[in-house]
Structure 1
Amino acid sequence: MTTESAPEKVEIASKKEGSLRTPWGRHALVSMLFFVLGAEMFVLSPLIPMMASEFGVTTPVAAMSVAAFALTYATTSPLVGAFSDGLTRKAAILGGAVVFVCGEVLCTAAPQFALLITGRVLAGAGGAMMGPAVWSYVTETAAPAERGRAVSRVAAFFAAGQILGVPAGAIVADTASWRWVFAAVAFAASVVILLISLKLNNEARIPPRDRRKWRVIVGSLGLWRNSNFALVVSANFFAQAARYATYTFAGALFLYRFGLSTTQLGLVGAAVGAGSMIGALLGGYLVDRFHRSGRSQFGLNVGYGMMMALGLFAATSSEVVWVSVLGWVATFAAGSSYVSTSQEYLTATMGDLRAPAVSWNNSALYAGTASGTFLLGMTELGSTSFTVLAVSFGVVAGLLSGLTMLGHRAAPPRTGTALNSRIKSH
């Protein structure tokens, strides 16, 4: 039985074709799903006050529409990611995207808040299936020297969805109904599904067919024995709580503190998305540069974590609107760089367990969103305790990256092929 890892298989196939070029066009195609996902996730913040009013619930309860998606993604991602690794990346991407669209349609028509939450759960399950498959496909098909940039461009598409989708969604919600926002997301995702089904062919990776399902789960759980993996995933939990969970309340904060309209909140979301895109692209460039110089990329994440903490302090405590906006922009620029740097590490080092590793990481990201939203919702909006809690999330993320950097220097991480040797022997 061969023991070569997925990246090695792709590289061998590429050499046979006489090329090691990164297929940026196909990467852009699958990344369009992240564009849609980014628009959908961020547009909820300015819509939460409107949904709370229509359904007759409080703002923290309405914010659970964000937590429902995140919690579902967090709890289903490891299991779905492990099993879908036996599919082609295209099949996993399309299957998850279809489930995601079904959830968006249900949100569009939901007559009660409970059904809206059900739609968010369904959308989260779909995201849990397609997300790791997109990350894995991009890493497996990128040229080794360009993996950092390839991963960061997926994150940039996510941010672009925020830049363009959030203000557009806010205008639609302000002039028509928030329900049309979910309908537009479902339509856009359906178009991307059609394009992927027609254009994404000739996949080099051959899905493993000889793995017993329970051993796939055992191998996935075994990743936690790798201390570097455990630290990276744990750090991402706090990084996501810092930026996404806190941003869930940004719309309400700007409304109550500065009296911004829904349309103005959309423009703020676009500015924050621009910061996120810049952070993602710059982060990918810096990762590739650090690799070439032999330096640890986790030194970058220490700085990003501290930058998130400072940005959140300004965003949540300032009484000056432009200072608050700049705080959010800085937070998301640093947070996007932080997460894309971590994703590059996991996809590049976990070999055959790449998809389960990304699934665990995505689970931690969305668990951070759900947990952070819940904890912040227990504090008074805009209070000192709210700010302290938000800032502490960024500080912990930076500290955990410092520990990862020290451990990475002391003991280089094992590859996914080594971790997966037991699975491959069965």
Structure 2
Amino acid sequence: MRKFTVLFFLIMFMIGTDTFLISPLLPTLQTEFGVSTDIAGWMLGAYTLGSAVFALIAGPLSDGWNRRTVLLGGMLGFSISTILCGFADGFWTMCLFRFLAGISAAFTAPQVWASIPAVMPPSRIAKTMGIAFSGLAASQALGVPIGSWLATAHWSVPFWTIGTAALLLALAAFYTLPDMKPTLAKGERTSILARYVPLITSGQARGGFFAYLLLHLGCGTAFAFVGKWMADRFELPIEGIGTVMIFLGLGNLLGSMISAYAARKLGHANAVAAGMALLIVLYVVMPRLAGLSAVTIVYFIICTTLGIIFPIVMGALTALNASIRGTISSLANATMNGANTLGAWGAGILYIQLGGYSSIGIFSGICLALSLGLFLSSGVLGRKSVNTATKEVSAS
């Protein structure tokens, strides 16, 4: 069973590394392809757009397919498209390959979460889920900085390295994972739209997901240009940006490790409310700090807080209806990547036309304030409200 745990951790580590890789490379790629700052974020947004759009159909569709086949196909596509990024000869070519990598990730990541209950004994499911999730956090702490350091040789090296590693993981999955065929009755068809109707018709579900969108929009906008801002403000080379990213990833990893403790001590609603209130202040204040050390410490606190908040919020959303948790997870993934796409595209405009990174910080603070208000007013975070939401979604 340990081989499955290691495999799932490494797959999520690779996907997470590829997801965040563009941010520290943005100044280098902007110069390489000769594009303006206001559209440079499209290289990041192309990936999240592909992942967001196809996540909406990948989850429900794959419920009727062999999960092993879907995961292998997704990993192969992810490997090829990421390697091709290293051969991109222009801005739009890079955007195309990033878009294809995002599509592949949309089919791969949900299969990890869905495969764990199929191959692990019940007593190991929760622990394996936690280890797989930590792969994403570890990618920020280790994968992205390593990618930044590899880019000192040439910007294409990180893409070739990640793509090759993903291909090796696909081979490992081919020889390790068993078939995981659907349990649908013969002749039964899966309706994609029907799976989403209970969520669409639930007011609490709509409020919860819109709040989730705003949360990621604020965080994604700030993260998209943090590498560019550090290069401009502190004249950091790419390896210096990668070093700072280590602290951001370690903060996220620490937060994910203590999230359950914070929720148990403070309660779900209080933990999220306190965390988001702190984030609002830090996002607004951080761009005004004069020293790199102070900025690094503040962003470490931000990432730690986000690491605490996200698992609590995801737990509340998936509790809306236990019978469609796969669809809820796919919708949450699409919401996250859709918000990150808008954030990446909008960050360039804010950075150039509305006062640099300070305007991004204010925008992020506003998004989080609106998100917190929606989370609390929808009642998704409270124990009583979650039970009510479950009944409402189930009844719809």
- The runs of 5 or more residues in structure 2 that have no matched partner are none
Distance 1:399 1:365, change over 3 A: same
Q: Structure 1 residue 59: deviation in Å?
A: 2.5
Distance 1:25 1:313, change over 3 A: farther
Q: Map 1:27-426 to 2 at 5 A.
A: 27-138=5-116, 150-174=128-152, 176-201=153-178, 203=180, 206=183, 210-213=187-190, 215-287=191-263, 289=264, 297-347=268-318, 350-380=321-351, 382-405=356-379, 408=382, 409-410=384-385, 412-414=388-390, 418=394
Matched to 1:196, the amino acid is: A
- The runs of 5 or more residues in structure 1 that have no matched partner are 1-22, 421-426
Distance 1:406 1:353, change over 3 A: closer
Q: Structure 1 residue 362: deviation in Å?
A: 0.5
**TM-score normalised according to structure 1 size:** 0.82
Matched to 1:48, the amino acid is: L
Q: Structure 1 residue 210: deviation in Å?
A: 4.3
Distance 2:76 2:184 in 1: 21
Distance 1:313 1:142 in 2: 44
Q: Structure 1 residue 329: deviation in Å?
A: 1.5
Distance 1:157 1:404, change over 3 A: farther
Distance 1:123 1:136, change over 3 A: same
Distance 1:84 1:270 in 2: 35
Matched to 1:243, the amino acid is: C
Give the conservation status (yes or no) of the 8 Å contact 2:55–2:106: yes
**Once the two structures are superposed, what CA deviation does each residue of 1:279-301 show, in whole Å capped at 9, x if it has no partner?**
112124545x47xxxx9634332
Matched to 2:371, the amino acid is: A
Distance 1:417 1:394, change over 3 A: closer
Distance 1:247 1:76 in 2: 23
Q: Structure 1 residue 415: deviation in Å?
A: 7.0
Distance 1:162 1:60, change over 3 A: same
Matched to 2:42, the amino acid is: M
**Once the two structures are superposed, what CA deviation does each residue of 1:242-278 show, in whole Å capped at 9, x if it has no partner?**
2233111011111111111111100111110000111
Give the conservation status (yes or no) of the 8 Å contact 1:307–1:330: no
Give the conservation status (yes or no) of the 8 Å contact 1:73–1:366: yes
Q: Structure 1 residue 343: deviation in Å?
A: 2.7
Q: Structure 1 residue 150: deviation in Å?
A: 4.9
Q: Secondary structure of 2:389's partner?
A: coil
Identity fraction in percent: 21
Matched to 1:137, the amino acid is: S
Give the conservation status (yes or no) of the 8 Å contact 2:380–2:389: no
Moved more, 394-403 or 76-85: 394-403
Distance 1:341 1:219 in 2: 23
Distance 1:279 1:127, change over 3 A: same
Q: Structure 1 residue 313: deviation in Å?
A: 2.6
Distance 1:103 1:416 in 2: 42
Distance 1:150 1:412, change over 3 A: farther
Give the conservation status (yes or no) of the 8 Å contact 1:302–1:399: no
- CA RMSD across the alignment: 2.9
Matched to 1:115, the amino acid is: T
Distance 1:64 1:159, change over 3 A: same
Matched to 2:195, the amino acid is: G
Distance 1:312 1:139 in 2: 38
Distance 1:268 1:419, change over 3 A: farther
Matched to 2:321, the amino acid is: M
Distance 1:24 1:397, change over 3 A: farther
Matched to 2:388, the amino acid is: P
Distance 1:143 1:303 in 2: 36
Q: Structure 1 residue 207: deviation in Å?
A: 5.2
Distance 2:2 2:389 in 1: 29
Q: Secondary structure of 2:390's partner?
A: coil
Q: Structure 1 residue 69: deviation in Å?
A: 0.8
Aligned pairs, number: 391
Q: Structure 1 residue 221: deviation in Å?
A: 3.5
Q: Structure 1 residue 348: deviation in Å?
A: 5.2
Distance 1:311 1:151 in 2: 30
**TM-score normalised according to structure 2 size:** 0.88
